[in-house]
Structure 1
């Protein structure tokens, strides 16, 4: 259940193109709210709301120094997604292996 909630929060955070843009920018290094809002002309209150979703999703972390809040990517941000995708890939590969074996086991028509 915990893994499902974690994935739900991550996918929710990734669902918005503005947030994905912020992630792209943060992948290059830490940035302030103002720096993250600038490329899309987003108002600061809107940027803060989007960053809160990213933080709740476990994708970014924030640090406050004085009046400036800086965001950065979390190193483990996408581990849950990677694990989930890998499990689906493993299951799919096993299904294809069974299909190949079933086809090989079928008698040939003459």
Structure 2
């Protein structure tokens, strides 16, 4: 049971990092951090066709980083801040690991002197 949770967490983390691995998608996330925005407004900031831009939106939505709502002809995107917590958790875990390692190294070096 624990192994399946770890595998599921890993898959989610991988998906989020892949989604954020592209500068266009990171830019969309940055922009949505300010407020929900229509796809048209988001796309206007990039030199690409709307169908190409929509691929980026679908990747972000698939990773759970954003949600979209269509009202009439306008699709509005909003940031899912909770999904970003996956990255925060992972980084905190990595920080703890490295701080423990540097603490042990410091102790070892002090003992040698």
Give the TM-score taking structure 1 as reference length. 0.90
The structure with the larger Rg is 1
Match status 1:77 vs 2:89: no
Instruction: Write the distance in 2 (CA, Å) between the matches of 1:69 and 1:48.
Output: 11
Name the structure where helix makes up a greater proportion of residues: 2
Q: Deviations over 1:16-70 (max 9, x none)?
A: 1111111121111111111111011322111211100001111111111122210
1:30 counterpart = 2:36: yes
Matches of 2:17 and 2:27 in 1, distance apart? 14
User: Which runs of 5 or more structure 2 residues have no equivalent in the other structure?
Assistant: 1-6
Q: Secondary structure at the match of 2:78?
A: strand
How many residue pairs were aligned? 107
Equivalent residue, structure 1, for 2:73? 67
Report SS of the residue matched to 1:39: coil
Q: Which residue of 2 aligns with 1:46?
A: 52
Residue 87 (1) aligns with residue 86 (2): no
SS for the counterpart of 1:58 is: coil
Moved over 3 A (4+): none
Query: Which TM-score applies when normalising by structure 2?
Result: 0.88
Q: What residue in structure 2 maps to residue 13 of structure 1?
A: 19
Q: Which residue of 1 aligns with 2:4?
A: none
User: CA–CA distance in 1 between the matches of 2:15 and 2:84?
Assistant: 11
